[in-house]
Amino acid sequence: MKDEWLDITAPLQAELPHWPGDPKFALRQAASVKQGDEATVSVFTMGTHTGTHVDAPAHYYADAATVDRMPLDATIGPARVIAIRNPQAITAEELVAYDIQPGERLLFKTRNSAWAWTRAEFVQDYVFVAPGAAQLLAERKTRCVGVDYLSVGGFGPAGRETHETLLAAGVWIIEGLDLTAVVPGRYELICLPLRIADSDGAPARAILRPAIV
Ligand SMILES: [Zn+2]
């Protein structure tokens, strides 16, 4: 049977762009067959918001839910990939046309997808969810929102507002998706952040396959 799953996870590697000031991904071998050890064992270091990852409410709110407490259905189930035309931001004006229903999982494919994973250096003017759009998504009781660069919010003060609006409303956030090869439409999403106890976020593997209609 044909494998219809699309991997929308950014590979964890040293060249991955990372948020300014956040620890970058690094991998080294602690033991190596080549060096005469019995087995190869590697050590990796990274921030919890590196590459494809999930933000928990605890990312912005003290004593809020941590990533290990995420309901699994937040990021597993039917999902819609929406192509965003606006080259600056995902706005409420643009989203209104999509008749967003309560409980939807929405992944936004923006112009970021054309370059996001080909540049190791961080880019500040990526397309993000504008605070007004975050408000709309919160009001529509969106289950989860996924974006194709490192933050759901903009680079600057408005980024905080977007995060806070979504997380306070119980909208789970997936950041750092690689939607390069994904055609907008309806899919089945599986995204599982690592179950890191008491963490504000965690790296995730995310895959999509076309919805059966
Ligand atoms: Zn994050």
pLDDT band for position 60 (50/70/90)?
Answer: very high
State the average pLDDT over residues 193-199: 98
pLDDT in tens, 6-16: 999 999 999 99
Q: Is 93 helix (H, G, I), strand (E, B) or coil?
A: helix
Ligand 1 centroid to residue 174 C-alpha, Å: 7
Note residues around ion ligand 1 (Cβ under 5 angstroms): 49, 55, 175, 201
Cα separation, 109 vs 36, whole angstroms: 46
Q: Check: pTM over 0.85? Answer yes or no.
A: yes
Residue 3 has pLDDT above 90, yes or no: no
Predicted pLDDT of residue 205: 98
Positive/negative CA dihedral, 30, 32, 35, 37: positive
Cα separation, 110 vs 89, whole angstroms: 9
Residue 59 is among the residues annotated as catalytic for this protein = yes
User: How much of the chain exceeds pLDDT 70, in percent?
Assistant: 99
State the average pLDDT over residues 148-171: 96
Predicted pLDDT of residue 129: 98
| Beta-bridge partners for 44 | 27
Residue 114 has pLDDT above 70, yes or no: yes
Predicted pLDDT of residue 118: 92
Cα separation, 110 vs 91, whole angstroms: 12
Ligand 1 centroid to residue 110 C-alpha, Å: 18
Residue 107 has pLDDT above 70, yes or no: yes
Ligand 1 centroid to residue 207 C-alpha, Å: 18
Ligand 1 centroid to residue 33 C-alpha, Å: 35
Predicted pLDDT of residue 158: 85
CA dihedral 122, 127, 128, 131 (to 10 degrees): 130
Predicted pLDDT of residue 77: 98
Out of 18, 49, 53, 59, pick the active-site residue. 59
CA dihedral 131, 89, 139, 97 (to 10 degrees): 150
Mean pLDDT (the chain, rounded): 96
User: How much of the chain exceeds pLDDT 90, in percent?
Assistant: 96
Cα separation, 189 vs 80, whole angstroms: 9
Ligand 1 centroid to residue 49 C-alpha, Å: 4
